[in-house]
Structure formats: structure tokens, C-alpha cells
Amino acid sequence: MNNYRVSFYKDLLNSDGHNSKCLQQQIDVQSDGPSDALVLAEQRIDSARLNADRIEVVRLACSHNHLEHSSGDSAALCKHT
């Protein structure tokens, strides 16, 4: 099992008229892979209510009893709706 951080974003226009992503919800889950992590995260939160434009899944490394981003061995999955 691996640890993953699943982030749900909404695309918004900033004051300059440029696109920016706004974090709506973030959850850490344990799963066998990034696709399973996404399914688990969507089950644990009301993802339909969020209406996220973008979803990112990042594999986390466990170090010294806390989670931190893994530098070289990260699996990223991005879903645009």
C-alpha cells in the first residue's frame, strides 16, 4: 500500500483575467495505485458537490512517521473535467 494525496481544484479567473486553480478539498488516502486513490477519495468526500475542474493525485513518501512529498518516485494523475 502507498500513501496518496488527492487534491480537487476549481479553475477560476484572477483579477488579471488569467486562469488560476483554487484548492477546494484535499484528502490523503492509502491505496495500491493512483487510480484506486482517486476512487477512494471521491467516495470519502462529496466530489459531486465540489464540481472540480481538475483533480491531482500525488504519491507521498513516509518518512520519520509523517508524510512528505516524494521527490523522484511520485505518481501524478491529473483529471480535467
What is the total count of domains within the chain?
1
3-state secondary structure of 73: coil
Given a contact cutoff of 8 angstroms between Cβ atoms, the answer to whether 65 and 10 are in contact is no
Range of the domain at 26: 2-80
Amino acid identity, position 4 = Y
Averaged pLDDT score across all residues of the chain: 81
Q: What is the pLDDT of residues 30-55, one digit of tens each?
A: 999 999 999 999 999 986 778 899 99
Report which of residues 27 and 51 the model is more confident about. Answer: 27
Report which of residues 66 and 34 the model is more confident about. Answer: 34
